[in-house]
Amino acid sequence: MAKDYYKTLGVAHNATKEEIKKKYRELAHKFHPDKGGDEARFKEVNEAYQVLSDERRRSQYDQFGHVFDGSGGSSAGAGQSGFEWPGGFRVDFGQDGGGGFGDFDFTDIFDDFLGGGGGGRARTRQKRGKDIRVELEITFEESILGGKKEFDYSRIGRCHRCDGSGGEPGTKIKECPTCRGQGSVQKTQRTILGSFTQVATCQECRGSGKRPESLCSHCRGKGVEEITETIEVVIPRGVNNGEILKITGKGEASFYGGTPGDLYIKLHVLPHPIFRRQGDDIIMQLPLKLSQAILGDTLDINTLDGAIQLKIPEGTQSGDILKVRGKGAFSSSGYGRGALLIETKVEIPKKGSKKVRDIAQELKHEGF
Ligand SMILES: [Zn+2]
Ligand SMILES: [Zn+2]
Protein backbone atom coordinates (compact mmCIF):
# COMPACT_ATOMS: atom_id res chain seq x y z
CA MET A 1 0.00 0.00 0.00
CA ALA A 2 1.47 3.29 -1.04
CA LYS A 3 1.78 6.30 1.17
CA ASP A 4 -0.89 8.92 1.01
CA TYR A 5 1.04 11.91 -0.28
CA TYR A 6 -2.02 14.11 -0.17
CA LYS A 7 -2.46 13.36 3.50
CA THR A 8 1.21 14.00 4.15
CA LEU A 9 0.87 17.49 2.73
CA GLY A 10 -2.62 17.96 4.14
CA VAL A 11 -4.17 18.91 0.82
CA ALA A 12 -7.24 17.68 -1.05
CA HIS A 13 -6.91 15.27 -3.97
CA ASN A 14 -7.94 17.99 -6.36
CA ALA A 15 -5.58 20.58 -4.90
CA THR A 16 -4.03 22.98 -7.39
CA LYS A 17 -0.31 23.28 -7.98
CA GLU A 18 -0.30 26.53 -6.05
CA GLU A 19 -2.08 25.04 -3.06
CA ILE A 20 0.39 22.15 -3.01
CA LYS A 21 3.34 24.50 -3.22
CA LYS A 22 2.01 26.75 -0.50
CA LYS A 23 1.35 23.86 1.85
CA TYR A 24 4.74 22.37 1.10
CA ARG A 25 6.53 25.60 1.96
CA GLU A 26 4.61 25.89 5.17
CA LEU A 27 5.40 22.32 6.26
CA ALA A 28 8.99 22.35 5.05
CA HIS A 29 9.50 25.44 7.17
CA LYS A 30 7.84 23.86 10.17
CA PHE A 31 9.74 20.56 10.04
CA HIS A 32 13.08 21.82 8.82
CA PRO A 33 15.75 20.00 10.87
CA ASP A 34 17.97 23.07 10.98
CA LYS A 35 15.22 24.81 12.88
CA GLY A 36 14.76 21.95 15.32
CA GLY A 37 11.97 20.32 13.32
CA ASP A 38 11.12 16.66 12.89
CA GLU A 39 13.56 15.29 10.33
CA ALA A 40 11.48 12.22 9.45
CA ARG A 41 8.42 14.35 8.78
CA PHE A 42 10.56 16.74 6.78
CA LYS A 43 11.67 13.89 4.53
CA GLU A 44 8.12 12.65 4.09
CA VAL A 45 6.92 16.10 3.17
CA ASN A 46 9.71 16.40 0.63
CA GLU A 47 8.99 13.04 -0.90
CA ALA A 48 5.28 13.88 -1.23
CA TYR A 49 6.09 17.21 -2.81
CA GLN A 50 8.49 15.65 -5.34
CA VAL A 51 5.62 13.57 -6.67
CA LEU A 52 2.67 15.92 -6.38
CA SER A 53 4.48 18.91 -7.86
CA ASP A 54 5.29 16.99 -11.04
CA GLU A 55 2.26 16.64 -13.29
CA ARG A 56 3.29 13.36 -14.85
CA ARG A 57 4.26 11.70 -11.62
CA ARG A 58 1.19 13.01 -9.88
CA SER A 59 -1.19 11.59 -12.47
CA GLN A 60 0.67 8.28 -12.36
CA TYR A 61 0.33 8.29 -8.62
CA ASP A 62 -3.37 9.14 -8.81
CA GLN A 63 -3.99 6.23 -11.11
CA PHE A 64 -1.77 3.59 -9.61
CA GLY A 65 -1.05 4.81 -6.14
CA HIS A 66 2.57 4.42 -6.92
CA VAL A 67 5.17 6.20 -8.95
CA PHE A 68 7.17 4.33 -11.50
CA ASP A 69 10.46 5.90 -12.30
CA GLY A 70 10.34 4.59 -15.84
CA SER A 71 13.74 3.02 -15.61
CA GLY A 72 12.73 -0.56 -15.26
CA GLY A 73 10.44 -3.20 -13.94
CA SER A 74 12.01 -3.35 -10.57
CA SER A 75 9.56 -0.91 -9.07
CA ALA A 76 7.23 -2.52 -6.64
CA GLY A 77 4.02 -2.95 -8.57
CA ALA A 78 5.50 -4.26 -11.73
CA GLY A 79 7.80 -6.57 -9.85
CA GLN A 80 4.95 -8.24 -8.08
CA SER A 81 3.30 -9.37 -11.23
CA GLY A 82 6.63 -10.61 -12.45
CA PHE A 83 7.40 -8.83 -15.63
CA GLU A 84 10.18 -6.52 -16.54
CA TRP A 85 9.18 -4.10 -19.16
CA PRO A 86 11.02 -0.87 -19.18
CA GLY A 87 9.18 2.36 -19.54
CA GLY A 88 6.58 4.10 -17.47
CA PHE A 89 3.02 3.07 -17.10
CA ARG A 90 0.72 5.49 -18.60
CA VAL A 91 -2.97 5.14 -18.97
CA ASP A 92 -5.70 3.22 -17.28
CA PHE A 93 -8.81 2.88 -19.36
CA GLY A 94 -10.48 0.65 -16.84
CA GLN A 95 -13.87 1.34 -15.38
CA ASP A 96 -12.36 1.53 -11.95
CA GLY A 97 -9.35 3.47 -13.10
CA GLY A 98 -10.46 6.88 -11.98
CA GLY A 99 -10.77 6.84 -8.27
CA GLY A 100 -8.46 4.03 -7.29
CA PHE A 101 -6.37 6.17 -5.04
CA GLY A 102 -3.71 4.36 -3.16
CA ASP A 103 -4.80 0.91 -4.19
CA PHE A 104 -2.42 -0.54 -6.65
CA ASP A 105 -4.29 -3.72 -7.06
CA PHE A 106 -2.07 -6.35 -8.52
CA THR A 107 -3.03 -8.52 -5.60
CA ASP A 108 -6.18 -7.11 -4.14
CA ILE A 109 -7.82 -10.40 -4.74
CA PHE A 110 -7.20 -12.31 -1.62
CA ASP A 111 -8.72 -12.35 1.76
CA ASP A 112 -12.36 -12.22 0.91
CA PHE A 113 -14.61 -13.61 3.53
CA LEU A 114 -17.23 -15.74 1.96
CA GLY A 115 -20.20 -16.92 3.92
CA GLY A 116 -20.23 -20.64 4.45
CA GLY A 117 -23.97 -21.30 4.40
CA GLY A 118 -24.40 -23.34 7.58
CA GLY A 119 -23.05 -20.67 9.88
CA GLY A 120 -19.32 -21.36 9.61
CA ARG A 121 -17.27 -18.74 7.92
CA ALA A 122 -14.28 -19.77 5.95
CA ARG A 123 -11.45 -17.55 5.04
CA THR A 124 -10.81 -18.26 1.40
CA ARG A 125 -8.39 -17.30 -1.27
CA GLN A 126 -10.11 -16.61 -4.52
CA LYS A 127 -7.74 -16.68 -7.40
CA ARG A 128 -7.58 -13.60 -9.59
CA GLY A 129 -7.31 -14.02 -13.35
CA LYS A 130 -3.86 -13.63 -14.82
CA ASP A 131 -2.61 -10.41 -16.36
CA ILE A 132 -1.92 -10.55 -20.06
CA ARG A 133 0.89 -8.75 -21.83
CA VAL A 134 0.74 -8.01 -25.52
CA GLU A 135 2.85 -5.88 -27.82
CA LEU A 136 1.25 -3.53 -30.28
CA GLU A 137 2.89 -1.86 -33.24
CA ILE A 138 1.83 1.68 -33.94
CA THR A 139 2.94 4.08 -36.62
CA PHE A 140 5.10 7.09 -35.90
CA GLU A 141 2.13 9.33 -36.74
CA GLU A 142 -0.07 7.52 -34.21
CA SER A 143 2.57 7.92 -31.53
CA ILE A 144 2.66 11.66 -32.07
CA LEU A 145 -0.95 12.48 -32.78
CA GLY A 146 -2.69 9.64 -30.92
CA GLY A 147 -5.50 7.57 -32.34
CA LYS A 148 -7.56 4.46 -31.97
CA LYS A 149 -6.38 1.00 -32.77
CA GLU A 150 -8.23 -2.28 -32.94
CA PHE A 151 -6.63 -5.67 -32.49
CA ASP A 152 -7.46 -9.25 -31.63
CA TYR A 153 -6.00 -11.26 -28.82
CA SER A 154 -6.97 -14.50 -27.22
CA ARG A 155 -7.53 -14.92 -23.56
CA ILE A 156 -9.35 -16.97 -21.01
CA GLY A 157 -12.74 -15.32 -20.81
CA ARG A 158 -16.02 -15.95 -19.12
CA CYS A 159 -17.87 -18.95 -20.46
CA HIS A 160 -20.55 -17.67 -22.80
CA ARG A 161 -22.97 -20.45 -21.84
CA CYS A 162 -23.06 -20.05 -18.08
CA ASP A 163 -21.71 -16.48 -17.89
CA GLY A 164 -19.04 -17.60 -15.45
CA SER A 165 -21.28 -19.33 -12.92
CA GLY A 166 -20.17 -22.81 -13.96
CA GLY A 167 -23.75 -24.08 -13.80
CA GLU A 168 -25.94 -25.22 -16.64
CA PRO A 169 -28.38 -22.37 -17.42
CA GLY A 170 -31.47 -22.73 -15.24
CA THR A 171 -29.92 -25.26 -12.90
CA LYS A 172 -30.49 -25.14 -9.16
CA ILE A 173 -27.68 -24.04 -6.90
CA LYS A 174 -27.23 -26.35 -3.95
CA GLU A 175 -24.93 -26.87 -1.04
CA CYS A 176 -21.46 -28.09 -2.00
CA PRO A 177 -21.38 -31.81 -1.16
CA THR A 178 -17.64 -31.87 -0.50
CA CYS A 179 -17.57 -29.27 2.25
CA ARG A 180 -21.26 -29.41 3.13
CA GLY A 181 -21.60 -25.73 2.47
CA GLN A 182 -18.74 -24.72 4.77
CA GLY A 183 -16.44 -23.52 1.99
CA SER A 184 -13.50 -25.14 3.73
CA VAL A 185 -12.28 -28.63 4.47
CA GLN A 186 -10.01 -30.02 7.16
CA LYS A 187 -6.97 -31.95 6.18
CA THR A 188 -4.85 -33.89 8.61
CA GLN A 189 -1.26 -34.49 7.71
CA ARG A 190 0.99 -36.88 9.56
CA THR A 191 4.64 -35.95 9.63
CA ILE A 192 7.59 -37.03 11.70
CA LEU A 193 6.94 -34.02 13.91
CA GLY A 194 3.41 -35.09 14.64
CA SER A 195 0.09 -34.55 12.89
CA PHE A 196 -1.16 -31.25 11.69
CA THR A 197 -4.70 -30.35 10.97
CA GLN A 198 -5.05 -27.73 8.34
CA VAL A 199 -8.17 -25.90 7.26
CA ALA A 200 -8.09 -25.41 3.50
CA THR A 201 -10.43 -23.84 1.00
CA CYS A 202 -12.72 -26.39 -0.55
CA GLN A 203 -11.40 -27.04 -4.04
CA GLU A 204 -14.76 -28.20 -5.29
CA CYS A 205 -16.63 -24.92 -4.72
CA ARG A 206 -13.60 -22.65 -4.28
CA GLY A 207 -14.85 -21.63 -0.90
CA SER A 208 -18.30 -20.48 -1.90
CA GLY A 209 -20.00 -23.46 -0.26
CA LYS A 210 -22.30 -23.73 -3.23
CA ARG A 211 -22.34 -25.83 -6.36
CA PRO A 212 -24.72 -25.89 -9.28
CA GLU A 213 -26.80 -29.06 -9.48
CA SER A 214 -25.67 -29.72 -13.03
CA LEU A 215 -22.44 -28.32 -14.35
CA CYS A 216 -22.27 -26.18 -17.47
CA SER A 217 -21.95 -28.49 -20.44
CA HIS A 218 -19.60 -26.11 -22.23
CA CYS A 219 -16.96 -25.37 -19.61
CA ARG A 220 -17.62 -28.32 -17.26
CA GLY A 221 -18.17 -26.01 -14.35
CA LYS A 222 -15.01 -23.91 -14.61
CA GLY A 223 -16.91 -20.83 -15.72
CA VAL A 224 -14.28 -19.90 -18.30
CA GLU A 225 -13.36 -20.67 -21.88
CA GLU A 226 -10.74 -19.51 -24.36
CA ILE A 227 -12.04 -16.62 -26.41
CA THR A 228 -10.68 -14.31 -29.06
CA GLU A 229 -11.50 -10.77 -28.24
CA THR A 230 -11.34 -7.72 -30.43
CA ILE A 231 -10.44 -4.66 -28.49
CA GLU A 232 -10.14 -1.04 -29.45
CA VAL A 233 -7.55 0.96 -27.56
CA VAL A 234 -7.07 4.67 -27.49
CA ILE A 235 -3.46 5.59 -28.14
CA PRO A 236 -2.82 8.79 -26.22
CA ARG A 237 -0.95 11.42 -28.17
CA GLY A 238 2.73 11.80 -27.49
CA VAL A 239 3.41 8.21 -26.41
CA ASN A 240 6.96 6.93 -26.56
CA ASN A 241 8.28 3.67 -27.84
CA GLY A 242 8.08 1.08 -25.08
CA GLU A 243 5.32 2.76 -23.08
CA ILE A 244 2.72 0.49 -21.60
CA LEU A 245 -1.01 0.96 -21.53
CA LYS A 246 -3.05 -0.82 -18.92
CA ILE A 247 -6.62 -1.89 -19.46
CA THR A 248 -8.25 -3.00 -16.27
CA GLY A 249 -10.24 -6.22 -16.31
CA LYS A 250 -9.24 -7.28 -19.81
CA GLY A 251 -6.78 -9.93 -18.71
CA GLU A 252 -7.77 -13.53 -18.15
CA ALA A 253 -11.00 -14.33 -16.39
CA SER A 254 -10.69 -16.08 -13.09
CA PHE A 255 -11.82 -19.64 -12.65
CA TYR A 256 -15.05 -19.92 -10.70
CA GLY A 257 -15.92 -16.27 -11.01
CA GLY A 258 -13.13 -14.25 -9.31
CA THR A 259 -11.72 -10.88 -10.39
CA PRO A 260 -10.30 -10.86 -13.93
CA GLY A 261 -6.70 -9.83 -14.57
CA ASP A 262 -5.59 -6.77 -16.50
CA LEU A 263 -4.30 -6.32 -20.00
CA TYR A 264 -0.95 -4.58 -20.50
CA ILE A 265 -0.15 -3.32 -23.96
CA LYS A 266 3.42 -2.46 -24.74
CA LEU A 267 3.66 -0.02 -27.61
CA HIS A 268 6.21 -0.45 -30.31
CA VAL A 269 6.56 2.66 -32.46
CA LEU A 270 7.56 1.85 -36.04
CA PRO A 271 10.34 4.00 -37.50
CA HIS A 272 9.38 6.70 -39.98
CA PRO A 273 11.31 7.19 -43.23
CA ILE A 274 11.56 10.96 -42.72
CA PHE A 275 10.86 11.86 -39.12
CA ARG A 276 12.67 10.90 -35.96
CA ARG A 277 11.72 11.78 -32.43
CA GLN A 278 14.04 13.41 -29.92
CA GLY A 279 12.34 14.16 -26.64
CA ASP A 280 9.37 16.33 -27.49
CA ASP A 281 10.91 17.47 -30.78
CA ILE A 282 10.76 15.83 -34.16
CA ILE A 283 13.80 15.96 -36.43
CA MET A 284 13.95 15.72 -40.20
CA GLN A 285 16.60 16.37 -42.79
CA LEU A 286 16.12 18.69 -45.72
CA PRO A 287 18.42 18.57 -48.74
CA LEU A 288 19.11 22.03 -50.22
CA LYS A 289 20.56 22.94 -53.54
CA LEU A 290 23.68 25.10 -53.43
CA SER A 291 21.75 27.99 -54.99
CA GLN A 292 18.95 27.70 -52.41
CA ALA A 293 21.51 27.80 -49.62
CA ILE A 294 23.23 30.87 -51.07
CA LEU A 295 20.18 32.83 -52.20
CA GLY A 296 17.49 31.57 -49.80
CA ASP A 297 14.11 30.19 -50.87
CA THR A 298 10.58 29.37 -49.73
CA LEU A 299 9.70 25.66 -49.75
CA ASP A 300 6.61 23.54 -49.09
CA ILE A 301 7.38 21.05 -46.34
CA ASN A 302 5.15 18.15 -45.31
CA THR A 303 4.80 17.91 -41.55
CA LEU A 304 2.66 15.45 -39.60
CA ASP A 305 -0.01 18.13 -39.49
CA GLY A 306 0.04 18.84 -43.21
CA ALA A 307 2.06 21.08 -45.49
CA ILE A 308 3.66 24.30 -44.31
CA GLN A 309 5.72 26.95 -46.06
CA LEU A 310 9.27 27.13 -44.85
CA LYS A 311 11.49 30.11 -45.45
CA ILE A 312 15.11 29.21 -46.14
CA PRO A 313 17.17 32.25 -45.17
CA GLU A 314 19.89 33.56 -47.46
CA GLY A 315 23.25 32.04 -46.60
CA THR A 316 21.93 28.88 -44.95
CA GLN A 317 24.72 26.48 -43.99
CA SER A 318 24.73 22.75 -44.22
CA GLY A 319 23.73 21.44 -40.78
CA ASP A 320 21.75 24.56 -39.83
CA ILE A 321 18.60 23.73 -37.93
CA LEU A 322 15.40 25.56 -38.80
CA LYS A 323 12.90 25.38 -35.98
CA VAL A 324 9.14 25.24 -36.52
CA ARG A 325 7.48 25.62 -33.16
CA GLY A 326 4.42 23.59 -32.21
CA LYS A 327 4.86 20.92 -34.88
CA GLY A 328 6.77 18.43 -32.77
CA ALA A 329 5.50 15.71 -30.45
CA PHE A 330 3.00 16.31 -27.69
CA SER A 331 4.94 16.30 -24.48
CA SER A 332 4.67 13.18 -22.39
CA SER A 333 2.87 15.10 -19.68
CA GLY A 334 0.12 15.71 -22.22
CA TYR A 335 0.56 19.47 -22.19
CA GLY A 336 2.39 21.51 -24.78
CA ARG A 337 4.12 20.41 -27.88
CA GLY A 338 7.71 20.36 -29.07
CA ALA A 339 9.14 21.73 -32.29
CA LEU A 340 9.87 20.34 -35.71
CA LEU A 341 13.60 20.69 -36.22
CA ILE A 342 14.62 20.78 -39.86
CA GLU A 343 18.27 20.05 -40.40
CA THR A 344 19.53 21.35 -43.72
CA LYS A 345 21.98 19.50 -45.88
CA VAL A 346 23.47 21.50 -48.71
CA GLU A 347 24.15 19.31 -51.69
CA ILE A 348 27.19 20.16 -53.78
CA PRO A 349 26.85 19.13 -57.44
CA LYS A 350 28.89 15.95 -57.74
CA LYS A 351 30.08 16.55 -61.28
CA GLY A 352 29.26 20.02 -62.53
CA SER A 353 28.71 21.01 -66.17
CA LYS A 354 31.16 23.39 -67.81
CA LYS A 355 28.90 26.27 -66.78
CA VAL A 356 28.86 25.21 -63.16
CA ARG A 357 32.65 24.98 -63.21
CA ASP A 358 32.94 28.41 -64.82
CA ILE A 359 30.74 29.90 -62.10
CA ALA A 360 32.82 28.13 -59.49
CA GLN A 361 35.97 29.62 -61.02
CA GLU A 362 34.39 33.05 -60.74
CA LEU A 363 33.53 32.38 -57.08
CA LYS A 364 37.12 31.38 -56.55
CA HIS A 365 38.27 34.72 -57.93
CA GLU A 366 35.88 36.43 -55.54
CA GLY A 367 37.51 34.58 -52.68
CA PHE A 368 34.74 32.03 -51.88
ZN1 LIG B 1 -17.22 -26.95 -1.18
ZN1 LIG C 1 -19.88 -22.61 -18.70
Could you read off the pLDDT of 268-300 as tens digits, one per residue? 999 999 999 999 999 999 999 999 999 999 999
CA–centroid distance, 254 to ligand 2, in Å, is 13
Q: How confident is the model at residue 40 (pLDDT cuts 50, 70, 90)?
A: confident
Q: What residues are paired with 152 via a beta bridge?
A: 230
CB atoms within 10 A of CB 8: 20
258 and 357 share one domain: no
Most distant CA pair in the chain, distance: 108
Q: State pLDDT tens for residues 208-236.
A: 888 888 999 999 888 889 999 899 999 98
Count the domains in the chain: 2
State the pairing for strand pair 89-92/244-247.
parallel
CA–centroid distance, 185 to ligand 1, in Å, is 8
Q: C-alpha 100: how far from its chain's center?
A: 15
CA–centroid distance, 159 to ligand 1, in Å, is 21
200 and 146 share one domain: yes
Which ligand gives the minimal distance to the CA of 171? Answer: 2
CA–centroid distance, 333 to ligand 1, in Å, is 50
| φ and ψ of 169, to 5 deg | -50, 130
CA–centroid distance, 11 to ligand 2, in Å, is 48
CB atoms within 10 A of CB 30: 13
Phi-psi category of 34—alpha, beta or left, where left has phi over 0 and alpha has psi -120 to 50?
A: alpha
Distance (Å, rounded) from C-alpha 190 to C-alpha 198? 11
Asked which of 16-20, 38-42, 154-158 is least confident by mean pLDDT, the reply is: 38-42
CA–centroid distance, 274 to ligand 2, in Å, is 52
CA–centroid distance, 130 to ligand 2, in Å, is 19
Residue ending a domain, choose from 254, 269, 284: 269
What does the pLDDT read at residue 169? 92
CA–centroid distance, 172 to ligand 2, in Å, is 14
CA–centroid distance, 115 to ligand 1, in Å, is 12
Distance (Å, rounded) from C-alpha 144 to C-alpha 241? 11
> Which regions of the chain does DSSP assign to beta strands (E)?
89-92, 112-115, 121-124, 132-138, 147-158, 173-175, 184-191, 194-201, 210-212, 224-235, 244-247, 263-269, 276-278, 281-289, 297-303, 306-312, 321-324, 340-347
- Sequential DSSP letters for 305-332: TEEEEEEEPTTPPTT-EEEETT-SPBPT
Which ligand gives the minimal distance to the CA of 182? Answer: 1
What does the pLDDT read at residue 245? 93
Which ligand gives the minimal distance to the CA of 116? Answer: 1
What does the pLDDT read at residue 66? 62
Q: State pLDDT tens for residues 70-104.
A: 333 333 333 333 343 434 444 433 333 333 323 33
Query: Which protein residues have a CB closer than 5 Å to ligand 1 (ion)?
Result: 176, 178-179, 202, 204-205
Q: Taking Cα atoms as reference points, which of 105, 25, 107, 13 lies closest to residue 52?
A: 13
Residue ending a domain, choose from 245, 269, 293: 269
Q: Domain containing 327 — which CATH number?
A: 2.60.260.20
What does the pLDDT read at residue 109? 28
Residue ending a domain, choose from 251, 269, 287: 269
Residue 337: inside a domain: yes
Round the average pLDDT of the chain to a whole number and report it: 80
What does the pLDDT read at residue 64? 66
Residue 260: inside a domain: yes
Distance (Å, rounded) from C-alpha 142 to C-alpha 151? 15
Distance (Å, rounded) from C-alpha 343 to C-alpha 333? 26
241 and 313 share one domain: no
Residue 204: inside a domain: yes
CA–centroid distance, 175 to ligand 1, in Å, is 8
Q: Give the CA distances from residue 254 to residues 120, 147, 224, 262, 294, in Å, rounded to whole numbers and listed in that order.
A: 25, 31, 7, 11, 69
CA–centroid distance, 163 to ligand 1, in Å, is 20
Tell whether the model's pLDDT for residue 68 goes beyond 90: no
